[in-house]
Structure 1
Amino acid sequence: MPASRRRLIVVLTVVGVVVLATVGVGVYGLVRGPAHPNHTTTRHGGSSPSGTQNPSSVAGPVPATLPKTDNPVVYAKAVAFALFDWSTITGYAPSDYTAPVLADADPSGDEIPGLVGDVASYEPTTDEWTELATMKVIEHLTIASATVPSLWPEALAEAHGQVRPGTTAITITGTLHRTGVWYGQPASTTDPVSFTIFEACSPAWPDCHTLRLSQLNDPLG
Structure 2
Amino acid sequence: MAQGMDEKALKRQKYGIPTYSLAEELLNSISHGIGAGLGIAALVLCIVKSAHAGDGYKLASSIVFGLTTTLLYLMSCLYHALKVNRAKKVFRVFDHCTIFLLIAGTYTPYTLVTLRGPAGWVMFGIVWAVAITGVVLNAVNLKKFAKISVVCYVALGWVILLATKTLVANLAYPGLVLLVAGGVAYTVGAVLYAIGSKKKYFHSIFHFFCLIGTVLHFFSIYFYVL
With normalisation by structure 2, the TM-score equals 0.31
Structure with the largest fraction of helix: 2
Return the structure number with greater relative CO, CA threshold 8 A, min gap 6.
1
Structure with the largest fraction of strand: 1
With normalisation by structure 1, the TM-score equals 0.31
